[in-house]
Amino acid sequence: MPRNKAESIEKKQYPKFRKLLEERKNTLLQHIENVGAELSYLDQSRPPELSEEAQEEAAAISLKAVDAREREELEDIVLAIEKLDDKTYGTCDSCEEPIGLARINFLPSVRYCISCQTKLEERGKHQGSF
Ligand SMILES: [Zn+2]
């Protein structure tokens, strides 16, 4: 038995977190869809004979319109749901130690334990200042 490990979530808590993650995922997807719908509405006011190039440009703009942070969160949620399927949910993606119940309750799509997250952020800061 591991000693002095951070309190991890139990498998019986998986359904609760799956529900939270699915709900958040649906909210994000709906928002992304709404942004797309707004853009296609705007498209209708344009001349119908758009070139392929112009259509590609419009698609690129619609992707940018979706907040980058929302897309990142959505990716994290998809990964978290995959970890639920793999029965590895609640462990760190980097060191595979338990993430800790308090941290997961606060952010169910969290991928790293606090020490790996801190390391990653410090690395990011160094890259940013370069
Ligand atoms: Zn870790």
Is the distance from CB of 28 to CB of 51 less than 8 angstroms?
A: no
Question: What are 91's strand-pairing partners?
Answer: 98
Domain boundaries, given as residue ranges, for the chain? 7-128
Q: Using the mean position of ligand 1's atoms as its centre, give its distance from the Cα of residue 117 in Å.
A: 7
Q: Using the mean position of ligand 1's atoms as its centre, give its distance from the Cα of residue 80 in Å.
A: 15
40-65 pLDDT tens trace: 766 666 556 667 787 777 766 666 66
Q: What's the CA angle centered on 104, arms 101 and 105, to 5 degrees? A: 85
Quickly name the fold that domain 7-128 has.
Four Helix Bundle (Hemerythrin (Met), subunit A) (1.20.120)
Q: In the numeric block, which tokens belong to residue 91?
A: 């462990």
Q: Using the mean position of ligand 1's atoms as its centre, give its distance from the Cα of residue 44 in Å.
A: 49
Report CA-CA distances (Å) from 107 to 9, 33, 43, 58.
Answer: 13, 24, 37, 34
* pTM summary value: 0.71
pLDDT range class, residue 1, cuts 50, 70, 90 = very low
Q: Using the mean position of ligand 1's atoms as its centre, give its distance from the Cα of residue 17 in Å.
A: 20
Question: Distance between CA 105 and CA 20 in Å, rounded?
Answer: 10
Q: Using the mean position of ligand 1's atoms as its centre, give its distance from the Cα of residue 9 in Å.
A: 15
99-117 pLDDT tens trace: 999 999 999 999 999 999 9
